[in-house]
């Protein structure tokens, strides 16, 4: 069991980070309603986010939940996807990031233009999006704020878990019996596509053996030229 393996502390008074999660999600829903998008990758962060969204909405949420399917997700991730839909009773919209004209050939094929183009489609008409980014995940994320302006897209970006630690996440998951990706039990702290992800702490297992640290979704100026020109022309 994951909590035992990593010495998850026993239940205790909720840390301040718990309230920031609730308050930040509530603000996103109250301000944007159906025009806010939760990007879901079926990792431990989304287990917590989805559960809290449904709790503040008495079992319902107007938030659009979207996942980006690269076509090379782990079987365990696909199984977790089904678990999320069954447990939370939500419909998850799928944006296709596969490339029929050119088979997937590595992180630069998938994780830049194709994946970011799928994100752009996900956010069409949105006023805001919700992420599972946490400061603890690595140097590229340590300055993340709870609420930011996505200058590139002109919308708000909510990061309700930015102050949460790994222990906070596992405490919540076990306290509430939430479904989670079983790859976390196999040493995968961060889970991406099967060909590019190895077990590792933090994000060190992502794109192992390369200098890459981000897939492009949270990095400026990685949009496809056609996507940029299309938005700029609108």
Q: Determine the average pLDDT of the residues in 41-49.
A: 97
- Give the pLDDT confidence of 132-142 residue by residue, as tens digits: 999 998 788 79
pLDDT at position 82 over 50: yes
> What are the counts of helices (DSSP H) followed by strands (DSSP E) for the chain?
8, 6
Q: Which active-site residues does the annotation give?
A: 215
Residue 139 is encoded by which pair of tokens?
A: 């140097």
CATH H superfamily, domain 2-233: HUPs (3.40.50.620)
Residue 37 and residue 11 in contact, taking contact as beta carbons nearer than 8 Å: no
Q: Determine the average pLDDT of the residues in 58-85.
A: 95
Helices 166-176 and 44-56 meet at what angle, rounded to 10? 60
Q: Does residue 108 or residue 92 have the better pLDDT? A: 92
Question: In angstroms, rounded to a whole number, what is the distance separating the alpha carbons of residues 85 and 69?
Answer: 16
Strand ranges in 58-161 using DSSP code E only, listed in sequence order? 64-69, 92-96, 128-130, 147-150, 155-158
Is residue 70 very low, low, confident or very high in pLDDT (cuts 50, 70, 90)? confident
> What is the enclosing helix (H) or strand (E) of 38?
strand 36-39
- At 30 the pLDDT is 97
Residue 87 is encoded by which pair of tokens?
A: 């447990």
């Amino acid at each position: 069991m994951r909590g035992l393996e990593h010495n998850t502390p026993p239940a205790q008074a909720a840390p301040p980070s718990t309230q920031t999660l609730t308050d930040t999600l509530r603000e996103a829903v109250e301000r944007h309603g159906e025009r806010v998008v939760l990007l879901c990758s079926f990792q431990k962060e989304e287990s917590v986010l989805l559960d809290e969204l449904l709790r503040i909405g008495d079992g319902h949420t107007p938030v659009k939940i979207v996942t980006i399917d690269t076509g090379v997700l782990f079987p365990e991730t696909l199984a977790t996807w089904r678990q999320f839909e069954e447990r939370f009773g939500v419909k998850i919209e799928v944006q296709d990031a596969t490339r029929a004209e050119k088979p997937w050939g590595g992180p630069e094929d998938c994780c830049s233009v194709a994946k970011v183009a799928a994100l752009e489609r996900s956010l069409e008409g949105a006023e805001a999006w919700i992420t599972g980014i946490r400061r603890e995940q690595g140097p590229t994320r340590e300055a993340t704020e709870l609420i930011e302006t996505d200058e590139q897209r002109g919308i708000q970006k909510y990061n309700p878990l930015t102050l949460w630690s790994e222990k906070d996440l596992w405490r919540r998951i076990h306290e509430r019996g939430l479904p989670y990706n079983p790859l976390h039990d196999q040493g995968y702290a961060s889970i991406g596509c099967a060909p590019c992800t190895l077990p590792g702490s933090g994000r060190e297992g992502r794109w192992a053996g390369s200098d890459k640290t981000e897939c492009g979704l949270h990095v400026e100026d990685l949009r496809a030229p056609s996507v940029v020109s299309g938005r700029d022309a609108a």
